[in-house]
A and B are shown apart, each in its own frame.
Chain A
Amino acid sequence: MPFDEVDVRTRLLVMILVSFAALMLKTEIALLLCLVFMWIWLIPFGCFRKLLQCTTAYGILFGLLFLMKNSEHLGNLPLLTVYIRRLLLPVMAAAPVIHAPTGSLIAALNKLKIPRAATLSLTVMFRFMPTLAEEYLRIRESQKIREISIFRHPVKTAECILVPMLIRTSKVADELSASVQVRGMKLGGAYSSYRKSEFNARDRRLMMLGTITVLLIFLTDYCLRRG
């Protein structure tokens, strides 16, 4: 895809800017502009599935808000739809960062002079989520064979999910730490990377465009509020 070589630092900056905007923007049109910006940003990265999932969720939550308008008995639900819709934007912005190769992510974080411990934690955090989902599905499959149902045995189900999940997490932690130590992360000194982390003219242009776009969205939000 066209943006495969975009530096991770550029992706991180856009993610942080959009996350900030999602929290601070007040008007619906500004949030919609942010969503459009995410479409323009994510398509060159090839994150079509995430784009469609998040946009569909955004649309459904937006529609629900109108349907719930005249009901006083739904408690907190309208507020929650607003809150979740705002959270979808940072989730979309995080997609290019999560899909970056691990080596590129580590190289970029090292270039930012982030402590090695924090780099390791961030990388493990991003990479462990899919593993967690896989482990959970395997545990659920084995439970089906044993006919353990959450509706009939809720407490036993919780124990039967939690114990294997924790034992597997513990084993993954041991294997991962051994792998990391074998790669010399425990040693001091300069750390080279197999992958190049180059911040070239295109990254500078993208950073500037991203920043200007978010600033324009804030300006639009401000103008709309002032009427």
Chain B
Amino acid sequence: MKKNESKFIGIKEIVAVTLFSVLTFVISMLTAMPFAASVHLQLYVGYALMAIISGPIYVLMISKAPKIGTQVLFFGLKGLYMLLMGQVLTGIIFIIGGVLCELIVMGDGYRNMVKSGVAYALHTTLYGLGSFFPVIFFADNYAKQLIDKGYQQELVDTMLSLYRSPLIVATVALVLMISSVIGMCIGSRMIKKHFQPAGVA
């Protein structure tokens, strides 16, 4: 770092982090949608794929913007999007998650792949689980719509119970953490193989 360079995120880093954050958001939608018909596939495969594919994006982002505020902005933008879409609880959780990730990488975290990896694992786990907060906390709204259409109460309860099972939440969190580690490893290799020779990292 140059002598007068600020430790905090600047205009250049804000633009870069925003673009990479949008990219990961779009990837999360694209990887989750094909498996939408099955909650198990969506949770265990869709979001795991998102964690793996977004790994290189995250590694490139922290190599381009290793400044205080990067993690907050990276996660916070997704939280802001959720707030604008009316999902207040999910938005607040994402913003708090961004602050927690920033605290994890405080100090030398951006040069320390372990700390960065932990922050990324936390981000991915919260993000994967957070997308279901509206269904978990506003289950009555969704249940009523289905029951009004003639769906059996037992069937509706079965659908909703999958999102409320602690065992499923725990296993999904574990899968997302493992996928995050794999994504980070792939990202580290891609940085050396592609991005450093191209001069973008």
Contacts and interface: CB of A to CB of B under 8 A. Distances in A.
B145 interface: yes
Most A Cβ at <10 Å: residue of B81, B84, B87, B160: B84
A19 B12 contact: no
B77 A121 contact: yes
A166 B142 contact: no
Main secondary structure of the interface of B (DSSP, over half): helix
Interface stretch (A2-10, A49-57, A70-78, A196-204): A70-78
Most A Cβ at <10 Å: residue of B26, B85, B135, B138: B85
A35 to B, nearest CB: 14
Interface in A101-139: 117-118, 120-122, 124-125, 128-129, 132
B146 A76 contact: no
A82 B155 contact: no
By size class, the interface of chain B is: 35 or more
Contacts of B162: 76
B14 interface: yes
Contact of A167 (B39, B88, B155, B198): B198
A149 to B, nearest CB: 17
By size class, the interface of chain A is: 35 or more
Nearest to B86: A19
A177 B17 CA distance: 11
B1 interface: no
Interface in B1-53: 9-12, 14-16, 18-23, 26, 36-40, 42, 53
Interface string A61-100: 0000110010010111111101100010010001000000
Interface of B: 9-12, 14-16, 18-23, 26, 36-40, 42, 53, 56-57, 60, 64, 73, 77, 80-81, 84-88, 134-135, 138, 140-142, 144-146, 148-151, 155, 159-160, 162, 190, 194-195, 198, 200-201
7 contacts: A16-B84, A26-B144, A120-B14, A120-B18, A125-B21, A128-B19, A167-B200
Interface of A: 15-16, 18-28, 65-66, 69, 72, 74-80, 82-83, 87, 90, 94, 117-118, 120-122, 124-125, 128-129, 132, 158-159, 162-163, 165-167, 169-174, 176-177, 180-181, 185-186
Given A16-B84, A69-B150, 16 more contacts: A19-B84, A19-B86, A25-B141, A76-B42, A78-B159, A79-B142, A83-B135, A90-B85, A117-B9, A120-B15, A128-B18, A132-B26, A162-B190, A167-B198, A172-B19, A173-B12
Instruction: Give the 3 A-B CB pairs with smallest separation, nearest first.
Output: A19-B86, A173-B16, A76-B39
